[in-house]
Structure 1
Amino acid sequence: MTSATDSPLPAVTRLIATDLDGTLLRDDKTLSDRTIAALSAAEEAGIEVFFVTGRPLRWMEVVSPVVQGHGMAICANGAAVADLHDASLVTVHPLGREIALDVVAVLRDAAPGVSFAVELTTGIHYEPAYPPFHMDPGATVAVAEKLLHEEVPGTAAPVLKVLAHHPEMTPDAFLALARDIAGDRASFTRSSPTALLEISGLGVSKARTLAECCAERGIGPAEVVAFGDMPNDVEMLSWAGASFAMGNAHPAAMAAASGVTLTNDEDGVAVVIERILAAR
């Protein structure tokens, strides 16, 4: 693993793809002045910036104030593409409700004590035992089977992802179990330090949706630099021509990246962007 100062960069960088929590954002969930300046300088140099996150669109206010030309975001681990300029969803890759119900049933049986939340394009709802979302006071509280029920097929809001929380299992063990018993039905990943799984449609990932967005722009993986820190970033870090795991990253992200940079609290993303711009 090479460092931020000596890891190879693309001959031409046309797009920067960066995760938010634990990566671009500091631990206090803010952007440093140095990072804001680096993003602005990249844009001025003609490099597109994509925020690629597990967050839903409604939680993107943290970066919206610094959006200039770089207003595109891939949200919910690839389940949605959003335009932050008008807070609209451009593309959705939903999780089928029948598949979601099947996965819920399988996990209930394999991991007693699990609780669920359902992230729709219109907001999140969760079970009584699920850790409450203080940022979403309007959520419906009910069992997942009721939250996923659809009176008339195709009429309810699309499901972006289902979240599964276990109060006792270790995060990586819970992820491994879910992938083993239901990995043929849906995509499982995680980005939280707790045993919280994020379940998307089969094949949905940050990498797949980023690849689609890049293809629309005539940008190849060799022209992309990506940043991330958790298992939900692994596919993206592997896909990009150059990628950097944060100094605070999960071992799986470290293994997938072509280089490592400083931690999120040390402006690790800005350090690499400054190097990209200095080389132009």
Structure 2
Amino acid sequence: MTPATEQPKPPTSGGAGSAPAPPAVPRLIATDLDGTLLRDDKSVSDRTIAALAAAEAAGIDVFFVTGRPARWMSVVSDHVHGHGLAICANGAAVVDLHQGLRFVRVRPLLRDDALAVVHALRAAAPGTSFAVERTGGIHNEPLYPPLSFDAATSIGPAEKLLADDAEQADQPIIKVLAYHPELAPDDFLTLARTSAGAHASFTRSSPTALLEISGLGVSKASTLAQCCAERGITRDEVMAFGDMPNDLEMLAWAGMPYAMANAHPSVLAATTRQAPANSDDGVAAVIESVLNR
């Protein structure tokens, strides 16, 4: 397990209430995928592919930083150059897309903490159902709404899926997902942080009341900070793009943060820099403006 880094601090410039600086040339671009780099049909446009390649050719590292598990990364695996790395599962894993989705780093959610979260949310929000994401796949409760393209490896109560003698117990827990059929998404997030925040980190990226639960201190920002430190890159040299609450820590940490025009209100409020919407290739548009300076 890689220890969590110190929690990121807000940027010294470019935050709400100050005028955004003209685009600078970063050493690293960190971009979310869904709702940010990808269009609404989950495709990567030709314009975006060209912009990413141009950035890499100019010596700028590009990191995909996403809530997606590693097995969902095929949509962009051909567009990572050089290092081949992506940050997945909201910072819980670093994966080499050039080497068959090999896990380079895992920052797991410990079993005892996962169980504590399950028990706390069952008490605070009756009707919550759970899924457990491990390095080898996803496992869910019978009432958890499955995705048609991502079948569960096993189905059972969360307590059984997290048991010491579970068939998959040797696989680290990447994150736990919690779904509630009735609560508003942001209300569910607040409730979860209040009732179980001592055991894990909570965020969300879905339009539904689906929470993503990671180990304490694990976020897109803290893992990105580790990757940058290993490369001698400072936060002021990082340009970041995001659209949902799971991007907030990353945008607060990066020196050049951009909210997408289609972003969640909390993300739009987090920075004065705004990129065009994902459907308008907003990430590509900003990269082009930087490279054309």
Contact 2:146–2:152 (CA under 8 A) maintained in structure 1:
no
Matched residue SS, 1:117: strand
- Normalised by the length of structure 2, the TM-score is 0.90
Residue type of the alignment partner of 1:278: N
Decide which of 198, 209, 212 is 1:198's aligned counterpart: 212
Residue 237 and residue 11 in structure 1: after superposition, are their counterparts in 2 closer, same or farther (change >3 A)? same
Contact 1:10–1:222 (CA under 8 A) maintained in structure 2:
no
Aligned counterparts, 1:83-232, within 5 A: 83-86=96-99, 87-151=101-165, 156-232=170-246
Residue type of the alignment partner of 1:15: L
Residue 157 and residue 224 in structure 1: after superposition, are their counterparts in 2 closer, same or farther (change >3 A)? same
Residue 258 and residue 241 in structure 1: after superposition, are their counterparts in 2 closer, same or farther (change >3 A)? farther
Contact 2:62–2:80 (CA under 8 A) maintained in structure 1:
no
Contact 1:230–1:249 (CA under 8 A) maintained in structure 2:
yes
Aligned-pair Cα RMSD in Å:
1.7
Give the gaps of 5 or more residues in structure 2: 1-13
Residue type of the alignment partner of 1:36: I
Residue type of the alignment partner of 1:171: P
Residue type of the alignment partner of 2:249: E
Distance in 1, Cα, partners of 2:25 & 2:278: 25
Residue type of the alignment partner of 1:121: T
Give the gaps of 5 or more residues in structure 1: none
- Normalised by the length of structure 1, the TM-score is 0.94
What whole-Å deviation, never above 9, does each CA across 1:198-222 have from its counterpart, x for those lacking one?
0000110000000000000000000
Contact 2:65–2:220 (CA under 8 A) maintained in structure 1:
yes
Aligned: 1:238 with 2:239 = no
Distance in 1, Cα, partners of 2:128 & 2:292: 49
Distance in 2, Cα, partners of 1:115 & 1:33: 39
Matched residue SS, 1:256: coil
Aligned: 1:62 with 2:75 = yes
Distance in 2, Cα, partners of 1:145 & 1:210: 32
Give the length in aligned residue pairs. Answer: 275
Displacement of 1:155 = 5.9
Q: Which residue of 2 aligns with 1:72?
A: 85
